[in-house]
Structures are given as structure tokens and as C-alpha cells.
Amino acid sequence: MKYEPEQIEIETQALHPQFLSVGEADARRRIAFLHRCARSEAARANIIWLGGFRSDMGSTKASFLDAWAAREGRGCLRFDYSGHGLSEGRFEAGTIGLWLEETLAILRSVSEGPQILIGSSMGGWLALLCARALAATGETSRLQGLVLIAPAVDFTEKLIFERLPPDARQQLDKDGVWMRASAYASAPYPITRGLIEEGRRHLLFGQTIRTHCPVHILQGMRDEDVPWQHAMMLVEHLAGDPVVLTLIKDGEHRLSRDEDLGRLQQAIAAMG
């Protein structure tokens, strides 16, 4: 089914950013979020959008999901990690652990009822880490399913550090930061030693990954940032949970074309 833009051009209530304080003392930061409440008669799971590295809650896919959720009567929650979008903090100070802490705080403080986590790129890794953290505290009932778009599991190690040329590693060791060229912006962006080293505390590959809920992965086969073989490796690690993998032969990393949004919509709808 191809997504047709006119299908979601409906009258929706304008949303205004709200803020949740996360962390203690000097680490305290205000996290911006947009929350669309479900219609009371809607018997569908709410959705939470987990964006990618350097993305924000105003992205194409996040905005599409909010409009679609409004049409469906679903609740929809999207937010900006610290150092992203409207949230406080410096991007260079961000780590996987900090962004996971913010994700769990948002999920526990704002959301109600079973949720479907929609994780894009880095957000896919965070969704899996959330599932692990919730299982450790007996909160698996919070999740109805995960939809992962080009999930960049362990990307700080597998997709960045292990691919670094010697001169980039030397710069990272010497200066604590390496400026990485971007295919999506004119200026390079910083990869910090702190991001790489702290990311090693959250690596998932090399062990069984459990979500305790259904998982649907959408992966482009022309993705140069997260190769489709990376998604296959993830499927192999998800041996204990029901998993659907959709490989999109002509799909690239963002998967934000009309047909890609249609696949995303279908994957969420199939989870309830």
C-alpha cells in the first residue's frame, strides 16, 4: 500500500512543546517533547518515536507518524534527546547512556498503557536497550512491540570506531573529538571519544537480545550508513522473540519516501 499524503491532511489540534527534567544536579537537563493524547474510544496502542543521531522530533517520519496517529485516534509521543532540537544540552556532551536515560524517563513519566516504540537508526538501538531495561525491572507489559527502521545497533563501535582510518583514531585519541563528514549536511559533525567509550557499556551484539514483544525491522538494501547485513545480524541475535524483517531493495538509510512511510504505517497497524 502506497502512502497517499492527502489521507492524513486532517484537522488536528496544534501541539506545543512540553518539558521534562531528567538527571540530577549538574547533569539535570530539560527534555522537550510533543504529546498527542489518544482518543478515549480508540483501542489501539500508542506510539513513541525514537529518532536517530542528530535528528529531531520535527523530522519527516516523526511528523508523518503524528498526523497518522491523530487520524487513527492513537496517542503519539515524540521528543528530542539532549543536545538535539529543542532540548537542553550540548550535542558534544551526549552519550548513549544519557539518551537512554532520557528515553526511559519520557516513557515512564508521560506515556500510558502499552506502547509501540518506533526506533529509527540510533533510535532502533535505544528501543532495544529500553526493552532490556524494562525487562530488568519487570515492566515488559509497557511494550506492545518495536518497529525498527535501519536499526543502528552498536553503531558507535561497529559502524564508526571499527571503520575509522588510522589518522582519525589518532585525532580522536589526541583531541577527544573527530569531525565526521556528513552526507546530509554541508558541515561535518563531532564524534567524541566520550561517545565511543561510553557506548561500549551498552553493546548488544555478542549476546542474545530479548525484547519480550514482537519486532518488525524495515531495512533498505542501498543503505550506506547501516548496511542491510547489519539488520540480518540483529535478526540472528533476536532468537527468542517474533521478528519480521522487510528488506527494501531500492531503499536508502532514511526510508522517508511515500512508499517507505506506507510500509511503516502498515508495520505499526499490524501490531495493534
Strand-strand pairing, 29-36 and 18-22? antiparallel
The answer to whether 46 and 75 have CB atoms below 8 angstroms apart is yes
**What DSSP character marks residue 270?**
H
pLDDT of residue 6: 37
Cβ proximity of 144 and 115 under 8 Å: yes
Q: What distance lies between CA 262 and its chain's CA centroid? A: 18
State residue 41's pLDDT score: 66
H helix and E strand count, the chain: 8, 10
CA dist 252 to 159, 181, 194, Å?
A: 16, 18, 29
Amino acid at 245: L
Query: Is 186 strand, coil or helix?
Result: coil
- Which pLDDT score is estimated for 42? 64
The pLDDT, as a whole number, for residue 1 is 39
Q: Is 189 helix (H, G, I), strand (E, B) or coil?
A: strand
Q: How does pLDDT run along the chain (272 residues), one tens digit per residue?
A: 344 443 434 345 678 999 999 999 999 999 999 999 998 766 789 999 999 999 999 999 999 999 999 999 999 999 999 999 999 999 999 999 999 999 999 999 987 789 999 999 999 999 999 999 999 999 999 999 999 999 999 999 999 999 999 999 999 999 999 999 887 777 899 999 999 999 999 999 999 999 999 999 999 999 999 999 999 999 999 999 999 999 999 999 999 999 999 999 999 999 98
**8 Å CB contact between 234 and 151:** yes
Sign of the Cα torsion 142, 147, 149, 150 reads: positive
pLDDT score for 186: 77
User: 34-61 burial, b if ≥16 CB within 10 A, otherwise e?
Assistant: bbbebeeeeebbbbbbbbbbbbbbebeb
Helices of type H across the chain? 60-72, 96-110, 122-136, 155, 166-175, 193-199, 228-237, 258-270
SS3 letters for 93-145? Answer: HCCHHHHHHHHHHHHHHHCCCCEEEEEECHHHHHHHHHHHHHHHCCCHHHEEE
Do residues 172 and 196 lie in contact, with contact meaning Cβ atoms separated by under 8 Å? Answer: yes
Which of 3.40.50.970, 1.10.10.10, 3.90.420.10, 3.40.50.1820 would CATH assign to domain 16-153+208-270? 3.40.50.1820
Supply the pTM of this predicted model.
Answer: 0.93
Whether the CB-CB separation of 191 and 161 falls below 8 Å is answered with: no
* Domain range annotation of the chain: 16-153+208-270
